[in-house]
Amino acid sequence: MQLFVNDLTVMDFSYLCPKRGMVGESWIVDVVLSGDLNDESMIQDFGKVKKNLKRLIDDYVDHKLLVPADYNDVAIIRNDDEQVDARFTCEDGRVLQLYCPAEAYAFIYGESVTMESVGLYLREVLATHLPENVDNLELILRTEVITTPFYHYTHGLKKHDGNCQRIAHGHRSKIDVFVDGQNSLESQEYWASRWEDIYIASEEDRLAFDKRQASGDVPGDQSYSCFAYESSQGYFEILLPDADCEVVTTDSTVECLAQFIYDQEKQRKQGAAVKILAYEGVGKGALVCD
Ligand SMILES: Nc1nc2c(c(=O)[nH]1)N=C([C@H](O)[C@H](O)COP(=O)(O)OP(=O)(O)OP(=O)(O)O)CN2
């Protein structure tokens, strides 16, 4: 007998990719449990499946930076104070470096982070938390079907009192733009291109290179920026190429990003009526209009 739960949760995270750099993602999780019926004539109470498995997925992947532990150009140094220094060099030589509390990362076996490698990692964790009558668990990871332009972004919300304060977590997000009441595919494509695999930083978090806590030089081949902040989970620092960043003068909540896109579109469309629906992952976001 099998029990399924679709849309168990959405994992919002970022990962380091040899080709793309830092990629924000939102993956929907479905689960299938196989086993015998228990005393309640259930494989497991849906309430328990949802609560327990979602908590584990939140603990092990959600809002973390996923690092492919077997990639040949990643250096990971765990310091005594539980800060982890992760320096990742992409195939084209770009360096991405983070210096964050250990719980901000998940180290995934394999040379790259894929649905398959994350599925194996999670399955191993979840399998040890199943009741005795359940003998197998299948995880299905998938992305939202989006038929219009979308982008992948990574950010951190230093003022958030939960895990969104982690400096490198992200989302795969749809963007809807209406100009004079009409859907503007041109604007949507513009933002999907501008924010393809982007890191969104706040100007006030910029850190001078000589104040960095992470080890290693700033590469000299292209221009880099460093951003850092202290929040309730600890000290977070990131170094990355300027070409991979959008630096805003506000926080990067979805409300602020919708306003940023709105302001830019008002300039691009020279006074036309503009309406923006900016998403943060799946099924939620902020709306700004005239
Ligand atoms: N009003 C806003 N609330 C939150 C924002 C925001 O921009 N505006 N942003 C965040 C975080 O960035 C976070 O990544 C959002 O993720 P979410 O999955 O919604 O958060 P939870 O894990 O708490 O929700 P689950 O349903 O458990 O996945 C937070 N809030």
Here the ipTM equals 0.94
Expressed in angstroms and rounded, the spacing between residue 285 Cα and the centre of ligand 1 is 10
Segment 132-142 shows an average pLDDT of 96
Instruction: Record the tokens describing residue 86, joined without a space.
Output: 């992760």
Contact 141, 28 (CB under 8 A): yes
Please state the atom number of ligand 1 nearest to the C-alpha of residue 162: 23
Probe target for ligand 1 pocket from 236, 252, 261, 280, with the most ligand atoms within 8 Å of CB: 280
E strand spans, 36-82:
65-68, 74-78
Phi–psi pair at 251, nearest 5 degrees: -70, 175
Closest ligand 1 atom number to CA of residue 284: 19
β-sheet with 105-108: strand ranges across: 105-108, 65-68, 2-17, 21-35, 134-142
pLDDT score for 81: 79
Portion of the chain with pLDDT greater than 90, in percent: 96
Rg (CA), the chain: 20
Residue nearest ligand 1's atom 17 by CA? 12
How far apart (Å, rounded) are the C-alpha atoms in residues 264 and 230? 30
Name 209's Cβ contacts closer than 8 Å, sequence gap at least 6. Answer: 218, 224, 226
CA distances from residue 34 to 28, 56, 131, 137, 233 in whole angstroms, order as listed: 20, 19, 11, 6, 38
Helix (H, G, I), strand (E, B) or coil at 286: strand
- This model's pTM is above 0.80: yes
- Measured from the CB, is residue 126 less than 6 Å from ligand 1? no
CATH number for the domain formed by residue range(s) 2-172+204-243 = 3.30.479.10
CA–CA gap between residue 290 and residue 161 (Å, rounded): 31
pLDDT tens by residue, 55-104: 999 999 999 999 999 999 999 999 877 999 999 999 999 999 999 999 99
The Cα–Cα gap between 268 and 3 comes to 51
Q: State which of 171, 253, 260, 261 you would mutate to test the pocket of ligand 1, scoring each by most atoms of that ligand within 8 A of its C-beta.
A: 253
Region 19-47 average pLDDT: 97
Mutate to test the pocket of ligand 1, among 7, 11, 12, 279 (most ligand atoms within 8 A of CB): 12
